[in-house]
Amino acid sequence: MSSLAQRMNDMLLTSAEAGGAESMEAVEQIIQEAAHQQRPVIEDLLDSRQMSEEDFLLALSQRLNLPWESNLKPRHSRRLKEVCSAAIALRHRLLPLWFGDVETNMALSAAERAKEESGEETGIGEEAASTGEGPEGSEQVLALCTYDPFNFHARQAVAQAIPCRIQWHMASRTRLLQAIQKLYGVGADTFDAILKGRDLADTQAMDLKEETNVLDGDDDEASVVKFVNQIIRQALQQRATDIHVEPMETSLRIRYRIDGLLVDVPVPENIKALQNMVIARLKIMSRLDIAERRLPQDGRIALELDGNQIDVRVATIPSVLGETVSLRLLNQQKFNLDKLGMIPQVRQIIDSMLKLPNGIVLITGPTGSGKSTSLYTFLSELNTVDSRIVTVEDPVENKIEGVVQIAVKSEINLTFATALRSILRADPDIVMIGEMRDLETVEIAIRAALTGHLVFSTLHTNDAISGITRLVDMGVEPFLVAASVRCFLAQRLVRRLCPKCKQPAHVTAAELRSVGFRNAEDRTCYTAKPRGCDSCNHSGYHGRLAIYEVCVVTKEIEDLIVKRAPEAALKEMAVRQGFIPMREYGIFKVFDGDTTMEEVISATAADMMIGEPD
Ligand SMILES: [Zn+2]
């Protein structure tokens, strides 16, 4: 026996003694058996009724030096339920007590205990800790109460699901279970209550009229509807792409697919009893024939979470143990070309680029300039059943349904170049390479483009024209650049004016000319309100938008590339053919009232230094 297990056993034995166990032999036997059968030893000891539950656990808490809670009053229920999900609390029988900084909360607990002992009613906890957060900069701690400090599954699950420091407390099992049920409302008792109170016919009558299922908000009534909503909400919060509800012999298994891997979802132990109601609820939500249980069915659910629309595709499969229901959560982040808000001149070019059968579309800009969003948007636009899209990314930032996405793993030599070389043998129509970092990758991409593939990728350069020279500088033959690259799209992010508090302003022709805007004339535009408003956190801005410039590789530009012409010459030709420099694009967005002159000028300052034609 390991020394850790030995120490654990010693603690259990002395605590059992303190709990008034009559026969230490009997206790020892329970401990041995539990270890042998890999059962939770504390549950078994408590179930054996050999000792006082309270005294035994109190003694154990003292041996382990964990704070003992005789009065379980979670402070700030709503916040706690956000931090510690019902699934975690119910499955692992944990009660969150408070969340915030240790000093304040421990002081409050002591004060509460003192009042409690003197018999006074107190509201001190709710008031003083009203934000649930400590002073700025202090570490956030979640106090979790358990009656089984040796439950390592629970600790593991907590470590995975709750990203903050945990302070463990202990309490008696009976009081803890009651408190958990009271806090979450979907405990074992609640499930029993649902079972007694309703039958399947009632389930069928449940909100059939719902058009969209709104998942936000706390529905205080414990019900199957609430339970199913919680399961879906948690899946979305964990970025799951699929939910599988699978009847098993003795339980109902629920699994999420997160980052491609299936993960068991902790569920209340007696969920099996509600299997039919859970499945019926899902079928009602997806407008399936609830009476049909022998044939597979397909349906959809329109969900809303925090104002976002989520499309869920549902498939049922009859199995010998009952119907399995699979939910595919689609478009967690909707990419839409319209959302990029491109000015018509640029949008037109992009529309035509997306229709090309082959060639390279390169997006340039520094890190954090929104290149990924543009890439994903373009791919989403092209993502139809008749096109096969493969990506190589580092890392995969967003999942796109129907697109084969590969993550670079340099430690096993799966680089952009090696992955790209092998996927080209797998017959893709469209290829996206996260970044062109080296000559090898660029050359394979060029070969792909020349053999009939449409290739999207990014380059770290400041503006569109310098993308051309960068490729040549990397060692790519100019004629290959000219032949394969269709356009260079450069971009940068600027802050978006708060629509609630933006203020009208005026800009003169002279001012516009001084910052390089051609065809300048006096204009009205908008500016940020100093100190903003509540909806923009008093910044005057709300969110960001991209500004672009796009250089199309025309016949004339091709000729210049082949001749290794300098940037200035390339730019002059581009401008002659209608190229709109990023700063000018930004100023158009200022005229639209989307951003401000200050934002555009600071975001494009670097480009101006390499010389802007006027
Ligand atoms: Zn505002």
Q: Is 554 exposed, middle or buried (0-12, 13-18, 19+ CB in 10 A)?
A: middle
Looking at the chain, the whole-number percentage of residues with pLDDT higher than 90 is 43
Cα-to-centroid distance, 528 and ligand 1 (Å): 8
CA distance 355 to 303: 32
Local structure of residue 265 (DSSP, 8 states): P
Question: 94: which 2 tokens?
Answer: 């944990």
What is the pairing mode between strands 485-497 and 359-364? parallel
Which residues partner with 165 through β-bridges?
141
**Are 132 and 79 a contacting pair, CB within 8 Å?**
yes
Comparing CA positions, the residue from 471, 440, 447 lying closest to residue 458 is 471
Residues in the chain: 614
**CA 596–ligand 1 middle distance (angstroms):** 14
pLDDT in tens, 127-148: 334 444 444 556 789 999 999 9
Helix boundaries (H) for 118-260: 124-128, 152-161, 173-184, 188-197, 200-205, 224-237
Say how many Å lie between the CA of residue 495 and the centre of ligand 1. 12
| Ligand 1: centre distance to CA 537 (Å) | 7
Give dist(CA 340, CA 355) in Å, integer. Answer: 18
Rounded Cα distance, 323 and 536, in Å:
48
* Lowest mean pLDDT segment, chosen from 5-19, 351-365, 512-526: 5-19
Single-letter amino acid code for the residue at 266: P
Could you tell me the two tokens for 477?
A: 């033959």
- pLDDT on residue 214: 58
Going by their DSSP bridges, the two strands 213-214 and 297-305 should be labelled as: parallel
How much distance in Å is there from the Cα of 539 to the middle of ligand 1? 7
Please tell me the distance between residue 503's alpha carbon and the centre of ligand 1 in angstroms.
10
Flag the least confident range among 60-64, 262-266, 366-370: 262-266
Find the 504 Cα to ligand 1 centroid distance in Å: 13
pLDDT (tens digit, 9 = 90+) per residue, 312-333? 889 998 888 889 999 988 655 6
Q: Are 594 and 545 in contact (CB under 8 A)?
A: yes
Rounded mean pLDDT, 477-497: 93
Average pLDDT, integer, range 190-195: 49
**CB-hemisphere CA count at 13 Å for 107?**
8
User: Model-level pTM greater than 0.95?
Assistant: no
Query: Measured at the alpha carbon of residue 129, what is the angle toward residues 125 and 133, in degrees to the nearest 5?
Result: 150
Cα–Cα distance list, 186 to 75, 200, 252, 272 (Å): 19, 19, 16, 14
Task: Please answer whether residues 445 and 433 qualify as being in contact, where contact means their C-beta atoms are separated by less than 8 angstroms.
Answer: yes
Q: What is the pLDDT of residue 119?
A: 53
Average pLDDT, the chain: 83
CB count in 10 Å sphere of residue 314: 20
Query: What phi and psi values does residue 360 have, to the nearest 5 degrees?
Result: -115, 130
User: Is residue 241 predicted with pLDDT exceeding 60?
Assistant: yes
- Expressed in angstroms and rounded, the spacing between residue 181 Cα and the centre of ligand 1 is 42
Q: Classify the C-alpha dihedral 178-183-185-186 as positive or negative.
A: negative
